[in-house]
Structure 1
Amino acid sequence: MSLSITALNCATLPVALVDLRAIDLDDHVVVRWTTGSETGSELFTIERSADGSYFTDVGTVAAAGHSSSTREYEFVDRAPLQGTSYYRLRERDLDGSTTYSDVVAVGRIQDATITASTMDHAVWYVHGAEPGAHWSLHDARGSLVLEGTITDEAGSPIHVEGSADHLNLLLVKSSSRVFSLKLPPGTAGERTMVTASAN
């Protein structure tokens, strides 16, 4: 079920929430929060959104109930969204009442992978880069040969007819990272895969 609820300030929570953060760790996102004290708390529900407005539940963590000392919690989202995601907590008390935390955001970008047919090197396909990312192809001297914009995360084609023999490097610039991919010489009849590393 999707929810569209404005998050309340952390200070209004029945628990004293002193920290809430979402951390990108390769193939998953860790949501961590710390409470200074809790009175009558029962359950934390972790909610996620792609746009910061419509949230869905992605997991739950049992609350301490009653605590006057600092407690740390963690939830691992093992199927996170690409791009920017928004997380918040919905805290339920023992009496059934609920309150919401503020929203935290985290950005995730997949490693880009290029696959190409080396029959003629006429088309390269970029997989895993976010739509809207800028790509540019360069020759061995670093001069710009072609450039454009990624249109499809699942496989964005780059047509390089007439320029294939001069290409040496592909740069993919997302909103937060730059991926450098060195293009190897082609071997007739084979396919080549190049995996990016973020700079």
Structure 2
Amino acid sequence: MPGKSQIADRIAARGASKAAALAAVDAVLDEITSALAAGERVTLTGFGTFEAAGRAARTGRNPRTGEALEVAATTVARFHPGATLRARVAAGPGAPLGAVADLGSLQGLAAAEQTPVAAPTEKVRAKPAAKVTATASATAKAKAKAEAKKAAVKKRADDAKRADAKKRAAKKAEAKKAESSKADAKKKAAKKSAGKGRTKKK
């Protein structure tokens, strides 16, 4: 069962360096994860579609004890395979894969880690700095959006718990009131009965 490291090894075997292959895999997974956290839909033509979907609060059961459990509302990641992926999986192993296309761009992902680069001029430096700032800003926005989403889900779950607690308290109060009314009625009946007994004796 291949994991991230094994996938990077397989890409490296097709012509890229291990560092570049691993950086490429990490970059793709990071972008998909960030997009889903921000509530976006990611479509890779032929491969499939990743999307974030809301799951409503529900009552589940403990598989060991059978006890009812309240499961809070949450957001989950879903994947829908594309036609090309389905056909390829159904056909089974195919011909060996060829060399990695556009190897230069793959190597560039890990270039900063492998070889020192001369300091750029002020003019050249300005462009990447702006790009990094924009990326950081987008990541911060995505995180803030995800946190706001989590907070909203938690608030809904807390509100539902509080509402249930109020209902239970109201039911208990009603039951107590009913019991008190019954007890009062019994006392009154007992007093009446005692009064009648005394009248008869006279």
Give the TM interval when normalised to the shorter protein.
Answer: under 0.3
| TM-score relative to the length of structure 2 | 0.18
Higher relative contact order (CA 8 A, sep 6+): 2
| TM-score relative to the length of structure 1 | 0.19
